[in-house]
Each structure stands twice: as structure tokens, then as C-alpha cells.
Structure 1
Amino acid sequence: MSSVVTDSPMGVDEQALIDLVRRYPRLCVLTGAGVSTDSGIPDYRDERGEWKRPPPMTHQVYMKSHLGRQRYWARSLVGFRLLANASPGRAHHTLAELEAQGFIEGIITQNVDRLHQKAGSQRVVDLHGRADLVRCMQCNLLVRRHVLHDHLATLNPDWVGMEAEIAPDGDAYLDDVDFSDFRLPDCPRCGHGILKPDVVFFGDNVPRWRLERAMSMLDDSQALLVVGSSLMVFSGFRFARHAASKGLPIACINRGHTRADALYALKCEAPIDESLTALLAGLSDAQGRPSID
């Protein structure tokens, strides 16, 4: 049975989380979109775990539909600048400091924004890939996304500077727009491969080597801390299920329903940045530091 922690900024609720981490000081941290909302990047789901917006592009549609790819890249040309220019928030910096103090074995992030790395975290598995890279699906050429965007802007000058509401992961909402004239480049190396962001779209699978690295990180830890994720997608939920099967305690900082609610030893339904800041403050005193074996 989970223990739900309420919204007091620094008190008995945060003390329960501090005590848990003092007892299990090598954390594996699993993060989701809620960690990056303070950086201006929208999340996908509401507090009930339901979609806030239409579901994002799927791998199958992207690979099979030229019009689907035109729609994706036209919207990305408008919306990706927010993701590209985002700065780490307080939660990212606090997690980096917790790692520096020895409390975090590593971070498994479902986000593709690289903000954990920008904040200084060293041991990060980008479970769903990196949005700043683009891969040719034929010859595996990797190119920086900003290079492709510069080329797209040259091919489609009328789309540059267009304003729209920004969606998660660098998308933008463009309704009643004709995308059929949006020009897409071919792979600069093989000449015919489909260029796709180097991320795991919905309906695709996490590469085995990356999954194994993330599972190894969890196996080397003493507890799992879920931060800012509803775990509705199986690729994230599986880590909570794996931790539970090994008898590892699981704590969560997230507002609202998650798929793993029944598995938590402790759940904090409180603001992420405040909860992590309180955790860091409580652990940073001499008594709270982990022992070095």
C-alpha cells in the first residue's frame, strides 16, 4: 500500500522521503515530462493520467506516410525552437547535485530534451533517445537536428517565423493547414533514406542495448525514485515493475494518478521542485550523507 504525501513544503511529509533515502542512499531515478514543465516544455497527461492533447505521432504513421512526415516536420520547424532553447529547471539542477553528493546511482529519463545533462548530471540513460539528433533510417547517418532545421527553413521559407501553440517534444499545433507543399530533404549520404528524429516514437521499441543499460543501472541501485511521470507508457512502467519484483522500495513525486500507484512505498503529491529541494536540504547535513564503503 502506498503512503500518500501531501502538500506541505517542508515538514513531516518530506521527512518521510528523506528518511527513506537515508536508509537507501543509492537511488535510481526515473524521470518523465513533469520534470521539464518548469523549463517551459508542456507535458502530455493530466492528473488522471489522461491525454491533455491529441496523442503524438506514431512510428508506424511516420514511416509509412509521406504526408505524415510533412506534417511532422512543418510543425517541428515552428515548435522545436522552444525545446532547443530550453534551460534546465530547479528540479534538473537539484537532481544533478544529489548525484554529485552520492545519492543517485543514475537517472533513467523518458524525456528527449537533454536537460539533465545540461544541468550537470553525469550518469543518464536517455531511454527514448535524443531530440537533438536525426537519423537516416536507411544508412544510419546521424546529423544534428539544427542542421536539418536550417535546411528545412531554406526549402520552406514561408514557414519560418510562423506562430503557433507549442506542444510537447518540440511539436506545434497547426490546425486547418495544408502540409502537402512542405518540402522534405533526402538523406545527404545515401540519397533516399527517411530522416527521422533519433527518438522512440509511440508504437516503436526502445533499443535493446539501451534498455539493458537502464536495467543494469536499476539493478545496481538500492531504491527507485519516480519523478514527474504517470508511467502510463510501458517503457517507463516496466522499471517500477522490475524494482517491485526485486523487492526494491519505490518512491514517487508526482501529482495525480500513476500506473504504479499500488507499488509505491511512498508517494509525494507535491510540487516536484519543492520536494526535491527539501530532499536535498535534508540529506546535505553531515548525518544524512551516505557512508563510503
Structure 2
Amino acid sequence: VSGCCELIFTSTKGPWITNLSRPCSQGSLGLFVPPSPPLDPDKVKELQRFIGLSRKLLVMTGAGVSTESGIPDYRSDKVGLYARTERRPIQHSDFVRSAPVRQRYWARNFVGWPQFSSHQPNPAHWALSNWERLGKLHWLVTQNVDALHTKAGSQRLTELHGCMHRVLCLNCGEQTPRGVLQERFRVLNPTWSAEAQGLAPDGDVFLTEEQVQSFQVPPCVRCGGPLKPDVVFFGDTVNPNKVDFVHRRVKEADSLLVIGSSLQVYSGYRFILTAREKKLPIAIVNIGPTRSDDMACLKLNSRCGELLPLIDLTDFLLNLAAKGIDCLR
């Protein structure tokens, strides 16, 4: 269900008042979102206070932010990929060393791309973008590769695992927009078609071996090398420079909020360890247990898109206005 998310701040104190309206998508609620208990008003107030006291809030998001936009995740109880099927995500080493593996991957990705690329931000993405606009969010680190934070307007953003909307040549490093590659696929495979056998989290679908055998994969236009999505596959490592950059942002922060991540993958979990070493307060919003529940001062088992828009920044804005700061200028 698509509609309009409207955030209204009213006061008599000056020109920083605004009315922000934009389209949003509720996605496939219930299809990929695990069940959660009703919101606890006291817990919501605690999160409100946690965020209100933060001056340099760092937010880390995971797949649980995007499930409400209709993108499945891997680990959610009963609805994640691991719970629904025996299939597992592609391994980096297999993709790099095997042309048939790359053919199979790109055939699946070609079929799934139109739907994956059409997903839209949900209220959680819009809320985080608004926090940044209002000066409340110091930095946003996402483990997601779906570009939904970018679509929502977030700019103080690090895509820890890359983005499916870019393609990288494994030989020369040339980057290409994923939409450009989609057209090259169409030209090379004018009569090829396949029916999807299910949706996977990272922009591809499930196909049979027979379906993919005749699919043609184009090489890099610059050097003829093999192409790969500009994302970190399982078994690969995050670029060390990106890791160092995020560590610096964590050390600048005065609090850390985890949203929609079980933190099972070390690439994200390591930053929680850094926050703990720095004695930062940590809050977690995630349906189900996480690897860091024992490190958090606050944990909410809630839907991100239901909870985040409830956080009221009016006091924060009034304090800025009293100091003569126009955060929306």
C-alpha cells in the first residue's frame, strides 16, 4: 500500500518550521516481516529519551529495515530465506572462479532485477532521512545493498556491503550502473525467458539449471573482464578503508542505535564491540534476539517502520530554535 508520510512541526518560534510530505511504501507487511508484540508505550518513551539525549547518534541498519518494503532477509524466524528454503546465498570464491556460477547468478539476477529495483523506502527509511535533515543523526551505516536509504534521501551514509545498483569489473574495476547492464542482458538474450521459482534477498530469484544454460553474460566493455555486483558476497571481506572510516564515525559518536539487524555477521558486529570499548550507550530495535542484546541498555522487539516514525523530535527542534539555530535552512 503506497501513500504519503507527512511530518508536521508546528510552533510560533520561527522559520525552521516545515511540512515534509513524500511518498512511501508499506511493502509486503506480513510476508517477510516476522510477528512482533504490540508496541510497549514505556519502551517507546525510553527510546525517545535515548535519542533525545544523543548529540552524535550513529545508526546501524540491517535487513529488518527493508523487509517492510517487500525485500526478504536471511535470518528472520519463519519468514527469512534460511527458514523458508534450503537455498543459501552465493559464495564469493565460487563466483570469482567459476564462469558457470556467474552465468547462473546473472540469469537469476536479470529476472529478479525489475522487481528488486522497484522497491521503495518505507516509513523507517523516511524517518532516518528526516533525522539527518534535522541534524539529529551523525552517521548512518547500513548492511543493506538495496539503495533504499539513498532513495529516501540519506546522505551521511556508508553502505557497508556495497550496493546492488552498481556493477564492478573484477579485472579493471570499472563501475557501471546496474540498469545499463540490464539493457545489455536484453540485447544479448532477445528470446530468452524464465519463470521465477521464488524471491531471494539480494535482487535475484530461483531458477532451474535448465533455465540458465542458454543465458548469455556480457563482459566488461572496457577490458572484457567478468562483471560482479558491487557488493560483498558471503566469504568476502569489507574494504579495509571503509572499515576504518566507519570505526572513526563510531568513535566520534556519543550513542549507537542498531535497527533491524541480528548482528550475526561480524562485519557489522565489530562496530558494536568498538562502541562497547568506548562505553557508548547502545540501543537495539530488532524483532528477535541479536548477538549484542547483552551489551544494550535498551532493546525493543518492534517493527522498524511502525516504531521510528513515533519518535518525536519536537523538543530537539525547540531547543535548536531557542539557540537561534535553523536546522532546516
With normalisation by structure 2, the TM-score equals: 0.81
Pairing 1:21–2:51 present? yes
Seen in structure 2, the aligned counterparts of structure 1 residues 244 and 87 have a Cα distance that, compared at 3 Å, is same
Contact kept? 2:81, 2:200, Cα under 8 Å: no
Matched with 2:198 is 165
- Decide which of 73, 79, 82 is 1:51's aligned counterpart: 82
Pairing 1:197–2:244 present? no
- Decide which of 258, 261, 273 is 1:226's aligned counterpart: 258
Matched with 1:140 is 173
- Alpha-carbon separation, structure 2, partners of 1:285 and 1:160: 55
Matched with 1:3 is none
Matched with 2:116 is 83
Seen in structure 2, the aligned counterparts of structure 1 residues 187 and 287 have a Cα distance that, compared at 3 Å, is closer
Contact kept? 2:260, 2:286, Cα under 8 Å: yes
Matched with 2:220 is 187
Counterpart AA for 2:61:
T
Pairing 1:256–2:288 present? yes
Q: CA deviation at 1:181?
A: 2.2
Contact kept? 1:26, 1:102, Cα under 8 Å: no
Q: CA deviation at 1:236?
A: 0.9
- Alpha-carbon separation, structure 1, partners of 2:213 and 2:81: 31
Counterpart AA for 2:264:
M
Matched with 1:9 is 39
Q: CA deviation at 1:163?
A: 3.8
Gaps of 5+ in 1: 1-5
Gaps of 5+ in 2: 1-35
Matched with 1:106 is 139
Counterpart AA for 2:133:
A
- Alpha-carbon separation, structure 2, partners of 1:161 and 1:20: 49
Q: CA deviation at 1:161?
A: 6.6
Matched with 2:310 is 278
Contact kept? 1:22, 1:289, Cα under 8 Å: no
Q: For residues 158-216 of structure 1, what are the alpha-carbon distances to aligned partners after superposition, in whole Å with 9 as ceiling and x for unaligned?
A: 4447344221110101245342322111211112x111111111111111121122112
Counterpart AA for 2:307:
S
Matched with 2:249 is 217
Seen in structure 2, the aligned counterparts of structure 1 residues 7 and 287 have a Cα distance that, compared at 3 Å, is farther
**Does the residue aligned with 1:157 lie in a helix, a strand or coil?**
coil
- Decide which of 20, 26, 41 is 2:71's aligned counterpart: 41
Seen in structure 2, the aligned counterparts of structure 1 residues 242 and 286 have a Cα distance that, compared at 3 Å, is closer
Contact kept? 2:62, 2:144, Cα under 8 Å: yes
Matched with 1:247 is 279
- Alpha-carbon separation, structure 2, partners of 1:252 and 1:288: 27
- Alpha-carbon separation, structure 1, partners of 2:258 and 2:194: 37
- Report the aligned-residue RMSD: 2.2
Pairing 1:119–2:152 present? yes
- Alpha-carbon separation, structure 2, partners of 1:156 and 1:165: 22
- Decide which of 189, 193, 209 is 1:156's aligned counterpart: 189
Contact kept? 1:78, 1:164, Cα under 8 Å: no
Q: For residues 146-167 of structure 1, what are the alpha-carbon distances to aligned partners after superposition, in whole Å with 9 as ceiling and x for unaligned?
A: 1111111222234447344221
- Alpha-carbon separation, structure 1, partners of 2:65 and 2:226: 31
- Alpha-carbon separation, structure 1, partners of 2:195 and 2:188: 15
Between the two proteins, what is the percent identity of the paired residues? Answer: 40
Higher relative contact order structure (alpha carbons within 8 Å, sequence separation ≥ 6): 1
- Alpha-carbon separation, structure 2, partners of 1:167 and 1:20: 35
Counterpart AA for 1:65:
S
Counterpart AA for 1:91:
A
With normalisation by structure 1, the TM-score equals: 0.90
Seen in structure 2, the aligned counterparts of structure 1 residues 238 and 135 have a Cα distance that, compared at 3 Å, is same
**Does the residue aligned with 2:256 lie in a helix, a strand or coil?**
strand
Q: CA deviation at 1:238?
A: 0.8
